[in-house]
Structure 1
Amino acid sequence: MSTTYRVTGMSCGGCSKSVTSAIQEIAPGAKVEVDLGNKAVTVDGADEAQVRQAVDAAGFGFEGRI
């Protein structure tokens, strides 16, 4: 089941890749979709704590589920 989270500070493709890589490093095999326009990340295969940890480690702001 996928869950969408609000992530702030992303503005480009590089940001998208950083967030995706960070999540997949903590939760290998997770499917990650980044929507820069809506400041959202949809994740399937990682729980909220893992996503928060990855987003924080990548230097972006995690604001929780949308």
Structure 2
Amino acid sequence: MDKINCVVDPDDRIEFTHVYCYGGKTVMDLQVFVGDTMNDVALGYEEMKALRKRLKKVMKVIKGAEVLDGN
């Protein structure tokens, strides 16, 4: 999957490097840039839902990926 660059906050940048199905769950590998600090994050489907409020604009971009969990 191509990287998806989205601006969440003016100082934050998130790159979605992989979206894939693992064990029936949708998993995303993220690189989260907060200011100049980069953090690699792996999110499961439940964590994605928990972050939906903050990542609302991002989730619209990757909405199609959610079907990977089989629901």
TM-score scaled by structure 1?
Answer: 0.35
Higher helix share: 1
Higher strand share: 2
Structure of larger gyration radius: 2
